[in-house]
Amino acid sequence: MTDVGGDTSGPQAGRDAMASEARKLAVDVLYSEKGHFLAARSWRAWHYGLGVPAALIGAGAGASILGQAPILVPGLLTLLAAALTALITFLNPSDRAAQHDRAGVEYARLRRTIRQFVQIDFATDSDGELRRNLDSLTERVATVQGDAPPISAGAHRAALASIKAGSADYTSEELDTAAGALDRSQAAS
């Protein structure tokens, strides 16, 4: 990881400032990623929470007509099913869930790119390349933000709680399983 608390003048100060800015960008992206995935989960719950009862109540209305229930029963069931269906049409929870999922995936892609930028590119790129890449990453984040639907305050709070609970942390075992163990002799050279 790049040390961002060192020299405050000269070329290293510029690199430190870029690393600090990239890390802040990564935090913004992490919160947005988690928030969008949680918002998608919430909208999927609304989709099923409204859709399943609408379907069941609609079926019940049809069955009550066939079963010769008093006229009030099928009428009320039909009205209730229609109201739930209207809510589904108005809220469009399935589409909103898909939009948030897509935004979460884009933010996750950006977060990995920013992590590689901080962890790898800082060791190999020139200051000019780093600055151009940081500007490019900042623009990409702005584009995703502009295309993504807003997340609710509740999704933001849930994302914060999830991150604080460790959902974005990796253990050494997880890293070794997912990416293979590092050859420590090569990593040190």
How far apart (Å, rounded) are the C-alpha atoms in residues 23 and 117? 10
What confidence tens digit (pLDDT) does each residue in 74-123 have?
A: 999 999 999 999 999 999 999 999 999 999 999 999 999 999 999 899 88
- Within a domain: residue 53? yes
- Within a domain: residue 175? no
What confidence tens digit (pLDDT) does each residue in 31-56 have?
A: 999 999 999 999 999 999 999 999 99
* Average pLDDT of the segment spanning 175-188: 61
Judge residue 103's burial from the number of C-beta atoms within 10 Å of its C-beta, 0-12 exposed, 13-18 middle, 19 or more buried.
buried
- Within a domain: residue 102? yes
Provide the percentage of residues in the chain whose pLDDT is more than 70: 89
pLDDT class of 67 with cuts at 50, 70, 90 = confident
User: Of 79, 46, 87, 88, which Cα lies nearest the Cα of 60?
Assistant: 79
Contact (CB, 8 A) for 137 and 22: yes
- Within a domain: residue 185? no
* pLDDT on residue 189: 43
Other Cβ atoms less than 10 A from the Cβ of 182: the count is 12
* pLDDT on residue 14: 87
Contact (CB, 8 A) for 141 and 29: yes
- Within a domain: residue 147? yes
Residue 187 has pLDDT above 80, yes or no: no
Domain of residue 81: give its range.
Answer: 12-159
What confidence tens digit (pLDDT) does each residue in 121-177 have?
A: 988 999 999 999 999 999 999 999 999 999 999 999 999 899 888 888 877 787 677
**Residue bearing the bigger pLDDT, 143 or 178:** 143
pTM for the complete prediction?
A: 0.79
* pLDDT on residue 178: 65
Number of domains observed in the structure of the chain: 1
Q: How far is CA 65 from the centre of its chain?
A: 46
Amino acid at 43: W
* pLDDT on residue 4: 46
Judge residue 80's burial from the number of C-beta atoms within 10 Å of its C-beta, 0-12 exposed, 13-18 middle, 19 or more buried.
middle
Q: Directed axis angle between helix 11-66 and helix 72-91, to 10°?
A: 160
- Within a domain: residue 180? no
- Within a domain: residue 103? yes
- Within a domain: residue 146? yes
